[in-house]
Chains A and B, each alone.
Chain A
Amino acid sequence: MSEGMLSNRKPETGAFFQRDREWHPQAYTPWYKTSVLRSPQKALLSLDNTLSEITGPVFGHNILGALDNDLIHNFAKPGESAIGPRIIVYGRVLDERGRGVPGALLEFWQANAGGRYRHKKEGYIAPLDPNFGGCGRTITDEDGGYVLRTVQPGPYPWPNGPNDWRPAHIHFSIFGHGFAQRLITQMYFEGDPMIPLCPIVKTINDPAAISDLTAALDMSATTPMDSRAYKFDIVLRGRRSTLFENRLEGN
């Protein structure tokens, strides 16, 4: 862990904006059956952030390997590559004030082009791709920008209802600068007819929140004769300004 390249901005020490719990999925969503026994039933204890939530680990670019954000090659044998539609996913990590979040660690994982995960508890009949592991990571630049290369994951069936399928998706885990910003979400693909059918997507009430998780095809960012591109921006909680914050010295 190191301070990395956190820009020459003043360190931010304000509390984060309250989370909009109506916008996020509720814990108890019985159409997504696993949530039934795993959802807290009592009210959450609401508190303003303390130092324990305002601070958070930050990761330096020195942890990254050259192929960490290239899922087409980071598990492949030398000279080989993963099978599937080649895509670039790029975008920015922003906060709720619209400012780029530099130095944010993004970790992503996904099924292969056939919809199969490389995991011992996964039993879908689609075959593993010997050249595809399914994980990657990167750290955002000074403007909050990031890019990764992968193959478009396939949809896959999962045990919930008798015939439920996940739309094609990439899982994202994001660290901002404070532990209260910690977030895991999923990216969907523009135009996928499976999105509105998915019980996990439907844990989100507001269609606008689902649109915000749906990456747009961006032909202008493609690499001709190589990869199409999707743009996916991620928004983390924003910080209150500390300019006039009523805080004691030493806090």
Chain B
Amino acid sequence: MVQPLNRFKESASQTAGPYVHIGLTPNFSEINGVYPHDLGSSMVNDKTRGKRIAITGRVLDGTGTPLRDALVEIWQADADGLYNSPSEMRGAADPNFTGWGRCATDMVSGEFRFETVKPGRVPFNDGRLMAPHVTFWIVARGINIGLHTRMYFGDEDAANAEDPVLARIEHRVRLPTLVAEPVEGGYRFDIHLQGEKETVFFDI
């Protein structure tokens, strides 16, 4: 026998279900008066530094149908590459930028939309700079454990080419699934849960 490690097990995930909006975006689901506004609905204010962008997209199932009941959260660095988090030791992030957004996909079109700023570069664990990116987390009915992925920027070819995380993708044909297309006013990023264009999801 040896001494026990006394580790607890993480609580097992369960699907967010079809009514996730009640809990996470109650005003969106017309439960008004409980909270003044839905958390994560606004990431910026008029003092936020950096280039304003909108990130739009959809989450598509194995038939190519957009999910109309998904919930998407994003987490990103500010324009200088700093996170608004107590675990950020490199400096103080822009106090006018939360870095975190939450959006229910539209109940008709399935579109999500985030008004944010383009993030700066953040160092990888060995000090090399990662390319600008936004972390995505997707939950919905039928998704048993939240899906993590990243969005990179289609107009950052040089930075993307030296990104240490993108470099880990063995099947290079899948790399474009993580790269958002520049469009008027921002970027477009569709997430494919299955199929030929299945997005690279992370165990991270």
**Interface positions of A (Cβ within 8 A of B):** 1, 3, 6, 11-13, 17-21, 23-27, 29, 32, 34-42, 44-59, 63, 65, 67-68, 74-75, 94-98, 107-109, 117-122, 133-137, 171, 173, 177-180, 182-186, 200-201, 203-204, 206, 208-210, 212-213, 234-238, 247-248, 250-251
Contacts and interface: CB of A to CB of B under 8 A. Distances in A.
B142 A19 contact: no
Given A50-B124, A247-B125, A41 B198 contact: yes
A235 B9 contact: yes
Contacts of B90: 250-251
Contact of B143 (A19, A27, A96): A27
Contact of A40 (B33, B85, B147): B147
A29 B144 contact: yes
Nearest to A212: B11
A180 B145 CA distance: 12
Given A57-B99, A117-B19, A133-B34, 7 more contacts: A40-B201, A50-B204, A107-B24, A121-B107, A177-B86, A186-B17, A235-B8
B8 A97 contact: yes
Main secondary structure of the interface of B (DSSP, over half): loop
A108 B17 CA distance: 12
Measured as residues with beta carbon below 8 angstroms from the partner, the interface class of chain B is 35 or more
A38 B203 contact: no
Given A177-B87, A184-B16, A47 B168 contact: yes
Contacts of B146: 182-184
